[in-house]
Amino acid sequence: MNTQFDVVIIGAGVVGCAIARELSRFKLKIALVEKEADVSFGTSKANSGIIHAGFHSSSETVKGKLELAGNRMFDRLKEELDFPFQRRGELMVAFTEEEIRILQAFYLQGKNNNVPYLELIGRTRVLEMEPNLNPDILGALYAPNSGIICPYEYCYALAENAVRNGVKLFTNSKVIRLDTKTVKKRIKVITKNGLNLTGKFVINAAGLFADEISALVGITDFKIHPRKGEEYLLDKRVSSLVKRVIFPVPRKNSKGMLVIPTVDGTVMVGPTAVETKSKKDSSTTREGLQTVFRHAQHMVPAIRSTDVITAFAGIRPAATGEDFIIGATRVLGFINVAGIQSPGLTASPAIAEMVREILLKKGLPLKEDPSFDPIRKSVKRVRELIDKKNYAEFGKIIKSNKDFAKLVCRCENVTEAEIIAAVRNGHTTLDAIKFITRAGCGRCQGGFCTSRIMDIIARETGIPREQINKKGAGSEIIPFPVKKGDQSD
C-alpha cells in the first residue's frame, strides 16, 4: 500500500471532502483520513442543510468573503455531482421596528457583499409568499439565491467523486501523532489503527478536533469551543407549511432558530445554540425541544411538537475569534482549516479553492489531470417517481434492474437496488445507508426496514448480522446471538 502522499487531509467532513475533490483534479497523490466509520459522521451529518445567501457576515471576515463565493458554486456542483439542491430562497422576518432596522443593516451588508436579488419586503408581500407565517410579522429581508441541500448526500457525492479520481479514503483511522522531524520536508501521520502515512502537506480539517490535531504539531493559538444545536424533524405531512427557509433576526452567536423545508419534503426546526463543555455531547434535551418550538411557533403558528418524527443535535466547531481559521502555519506543510461553523457548508467549495491557492503558493505543483472526471451520478432514486405516480418511468427502471422491484423502506419508498448500491460503495453502517438512501428516515424510523437492510448488508458483505452496526464498532444493532443447537452453516 502506498503511504507517501502529496497531501494528507485529516477529517472527511464536508470541508475535507470538498478539498479532496478539488485537489483530485490535479496529478497529486491525496489521502483523506477519517476517524469515524464513514465520511460526514462528525459535525457535517447534523447540518441544517442551508446554502446561505451571503449577507449574514461582513466581508471583512473570512466566512463573510467565502459565503457568497461558495453559494455561487452550487448549481454547477449539483450538475456535476448529482445531489439534491434547490434554490428555495430565504426570508429573515422582523416583528418589531427594532428588528426592521436590523434587517436594513443586513440588507446593506448584503448589498456590500454583492448578494444578488436581495430585497426588503413588507408584510403583505411576505404573507402572500408564505401564508402560514405569523400575521404579526412587519416585514422581511428576502434573499432568493439562498438554497437547501442534503448535507450528507453532498458530502458522500464529494467523497465518491474524489475517490473515483484517485483519492485514497481511510476510515476508522483516528490520527494520534504527527511527526515533523523524522522525514525531511514531510509530515508523518500516524493513526490509532496503525496507519503510517507521510504527506508533503497536511490539511487539518478535523472539525471539532482541529485544535487537538493542531496541537500535535505544537500550534496552540486557537481552541475549539463546541456549541451544540438541537434540531427537530417534522413529518412530511406538514411540508406545505413553508416554501422558503424562515429566519428570525439573528442573535449574537447564532443565526437563530429557523423553520427549514428540506429537500426530502420534511420540515426541520432549530437549531438551538448552547455552549457545551464536551465535544462529544450531542444529546437532545427537554429544554431544547421547548425552546425550539416556542421560537418556531412564533414564526409559523401552525407548527406542533406532535409533528416531530425525530430529533438530533450537532456540535458546531466554533474557534477562538468565531471566524474561520484557514491558512498556512509556521510549521512547514501544515495548513489549518479550522473553526468552520456556519456558513461552513455554504462556503465549503470556496474553502476548497482557497486551500488550493494556499498550496500553490506554498510550492505544491498543480498539474491538471486529464483523466479527472467531474461527473458523479447518484444511484437512481425511485421515490420521486412513486410520489409523482410516474409508473411508466418506474417500470422502465425496474426492467433495467430487478432489484428496484424490491421495496425495503415503505415510508420513504427505497428499494433494494439503492441499498445494494450504497453497500457496494462501501457504506455498511445503518446510519450511512440511512443518510444516503433515506431508508429508515421516515415515520416508522426503521421499524420495518432495519431487518431487511441488515439482510442485505449480511448478504453483500458476509458481515454476520450480530456485527452490523449503526455508526461504527461498538454500536451493533442486535449484538447477541442465542447459543442454540448446531450453529454451523
Partner 1 sequence: MERKQMKKNLICINCPMGCELNVDYTAKKIIKVEGNTCKRGITYAETEIFHPVRIVTTTVRVKDCSIPFVPVKTEKPVPKKIAFKIIQRASKITLHAPVKSGDVVIQNIMDSGVNLIATRSLARTRQKSKKNT
Partner 2 sequence: MIKSVDALVIGAGPAGLAAALALRNSGVQNILVVERESVPGGILMQCIHNGFGLHRFKEELTGPEYAERYINAAGDENIIPLTNTAAIDIIDNGKTKIVILLSETKGLLEIKATVVILAMGCRERNRGNISIPGSRPAGIITAGLAQKMTNLHGLLPGKEIVILGSGDIGLIMARRLTWEGSHVKAVIEVQPYPGGLNRNIVQCLHDFNIPLYFSHTITKIDGDKRINKVHIAPIDTHFDPKKTGNFTLSCDCLLLSIGLIPENELSLKAGVALDPITRGASVDADLMTTIPGIFSCGNVLQVHDLVDFVSEEAEYCGKAAAEYIKGTNKKGKDIPVKTGNLVRYILPSKVKAGRSALLSLRAMTPAENVNLIIRTDKETLYKAKHRKIFPSIMLRIPIKEIPPLARYIEVLFEAE
Name the site residues for partner 1 (rule: CB under 8 A): 458-459, 462, 482-487, 489
Q: Under the criterion CB under 8 A, does residue 471 sit at the interface with partner 2?
A: yes
Distance of closest approach, residue 465 Cβ to partner 1, in angstroms:
9
Query: Quick check: is 52 catalytic?
Result: yes
Reference 115, options 148, 76, 149, 89; nearest CA is 89
Q: How many CA atoms lie within 13 A of 400 on its CB side?
A: 9
Q: Is 42 in contact with 207 (CB distance < 8 Å)?
A: yes
Our CB check for partner 2 shows the closer of 38 and 90 to be 38
Our CB check for partner 2 shows the closer of 54 and 446 to be 446
How buried is 370 (Cβ within 10 angstroms: 0-12 exposed, 13-18 middle, 19+ buried)? exposed
Contacting partner 2 within 373-402 (CB under 8 A)? 386, 389, 391, 394-395, 398-399, 402
Distance of closest approach, residue 35 Cβ to partner 2, in angstroms:
13
Site string for partner 2, 399-438 (x = CB under 8 A): x--x--xxx--xx-x-------------------------
Q: Is 261 in contact with 267 (CB distance < 8 Å)?
A: yes
- Binding span for partner 2 by CB under 8 A among 194-202, 262-270, 283-291, 357-365: 283-291
- Binding span for partner 2 by CB under 8 A among 92-100, 250-258, 418-426, 463-471: 463-471
Considering only 134, 297, 305, 378, the residue that binds partner 2 (CB under 8 A) is 305
Q: Which does 386 bind (CB under 5 to 8 A by kind): partner 1, partner 2, none?
A: partner 2
Q: Which does 127 bind (CB under 5 to 8 A by kind): partner 1, partner 2, none?
A: none
CA distance 259 to 360: 41
CA of residue 124 relative to chain centroid, distance: 35
Distance of closest approach, residue 384 Cβ to partner 2, in angstroms:
13
Q: Which does 462 bind (CB under 5 to 8 A by kind): partner 1, partner 2, none?
A: partner 1
Q: Which does 459 bind (CB under 5 to 8 A by kind): partner 1, partner 2, none?
A: partner 1
Contacts of 326 (CB under 8 A, 6+ apart): 62, 335, 336, 337, 338, 351, 354, 355, 358
Catalytic pick among 52, 56, 295, 427? 52
Our CB check for partner 2 shows the closer of 233 and 379 to be 233
Q: Is the dihedral of CA 202, 149, 48, 470 positive or negative?
A: negative
Region of residue 158 (phi > 0: left; psi between -120 and 50: alpha; otherwise: beta): alpha
CA distance 200 to 7: 6
In this structure, what are the phi and psi dihedrals at residue 26, rounded to the nearest 5 degrees?
Answer: -110, 165
Site string for partner 2, 213-232 (x = CB under 8 A): -------------------x
How buried is 422 (Cβ within 10 angstroms: 0-12 exposed, 13-18 middle, 19+ buried)? buried
Our CB check for partner 1 shows the closer of 182 and 487 to be 487
Q: Which does 486 bind (CB under 5 to 8 A by kind): partner 2, partner 1, none?
A: partner 1
In the chain, the N- to C-terminal Cα span, in Å, equals 34
Radius of gyration of the chain (CA): 23
Q: Which does 399 bind (CB under 5 to 8 A by kind): partner 1, partner 2, none?
A: partner 2
CA distance 335 to 329: 6
Task: Give me the residues that bind partner 2 (CB under 8 A), please.
Answer: 232-233, 280-286, 288-289, 305, 308-312, 386, 389, 391, 394-395, 398-399, 402, 405-407, 410-411, 413, 443-448, 450-451, 465-466, 469-482, 484
Positions marked active-site: 52
